[in-house]
Amino acid sequence: MISLLIKNLTIKMKSMINPIIKAEAFHQLSQTQNLILIDARFVYSNYEKGHLDGALHVDLNKDLSQIVENPAHGGRHPLPSPAAFGSTLGKLGITPESHVIVYDDKNASMSAARFWWMLKALGHEKVQVLDGGFQAAEKQGFLVNNEIATPQSSSPYPVTDWKSPLADLTEVKSASGKRNQMIIDVRESERYQGLKEPIDKIAGHIPGAINLPFTENLDENGSFLSQEKLKEKYLKAFKATPSSEIIVHCGSGVTACHTLLAITFAGLDIPKLYVGSWSEWSRNNLPMVTES
């Protein structure tokens, strides 16, 4: 019985799709398979100037968020409802069988990682983030043009709820005071320390949170570190804390997905995402820490 379970687990691991795809592998795959290519770059004018051939654009604010008037209620980039996102996916022609490749700019992959997390959170299997982004594919010789692609719309993607783990403000407040839980802040060190805050009104960090900047998931060329290096890094940081007791956040729940992508790429279980992040916490008269 045990040997059968191990065999089945091995087969499952082999069949799981890698969440990150290299530009060379992507270029080869695009020659043989019908892919849906998503451009998640934040600035739409960059998409208009030039994008990978056939790519459809998604907008962080309009498609991947449901912006509210007061960020104290959900942060600057709250998730849309699963049904609303399912409708967006249908308009993009994405079905549960689609193989989706999403890219961003080099050194970023932030909105791309958010799109990846959201699609995975619906239970979608075949979705990958292009390592090195637009620039890596262009360098590899992938065709670039400025023709606005027209999606082959389909029915709304079938959804029920977000299946990936989430944490809300109440849970984060509780975890902030517990030693057996971990809160990871992935913003750059200066924002975490409270030395600067270019976006939100107040600088600092959540009490008890540790700082693991998302930029440290990348090498000097803007590509993700190897699976081995990322696994070593995060196993060391987690200190045997189970993923169910780890909460990852950033400024508004976007770059946190970059770290969740890196953790998944490393072969580790995905922790909880706190979507509201610092943009929500800092607007609710809660304890804050600065190191200035």
Residue-by-residue DSSP string for 234-262: HHHHHTT--GGGEEEE-SSSSHHHHHHHH
Least confident of 9-13, 70-74, 89-93: 9-13
Average pLDDT over residues 71-93: 97
Confidence of residue 14 (pLDDT cuts 50, 70, 90): very low
pLDDT over 60 at 6, yes or no: no
Model pLDDT for residues 51-62, shown as the tens digit of each residue: 999 999 999 999
- Give the mean pLDDT of 199-227: 95
Would you list the domain boundaries of the chain? 16-145, 166-281
Pick the CATH number of 166-281 from 3.40.50.300, 2.40.240.10, 3.40.250.10, 3.90.1150.10: 3.40.250.10
Which is nearest to 224 in space by CA: 3, 36, 23, 61? 23
Average pLDDT over residues 11-28: 78
Range 144-163 average pLDDT: 92
Q: Show the tokens assigned to 256.
A: 């946190």
Question: What does the mean pLDDT of the chain come to?
Answer: 92
pTM of the model: 0.92
Q: Once rounded to an integer, what is the mean pLDDT over residues 4-33?
A: 70
Whole-angstrom CA distances from 244 to 91, 169, 238 are: 34, 16, 11
Region 80-107: mean pLDDT is 95
Tell which residue, 259, 271, 280, 275, has the closest CA to residue 206: 280
Same CATH topology for 16-145 and 166-281? Answer: yes
**Residue 8 predicted with pLDDT over 60:** no
pLDDT bin (cut points 50, 70, 90) of residue 10 is very low
**Catalytic residue positions, numbered:** 250
pLDDT recorded at residue 142: 92
CATH number of 16-145: 3.40.250.10
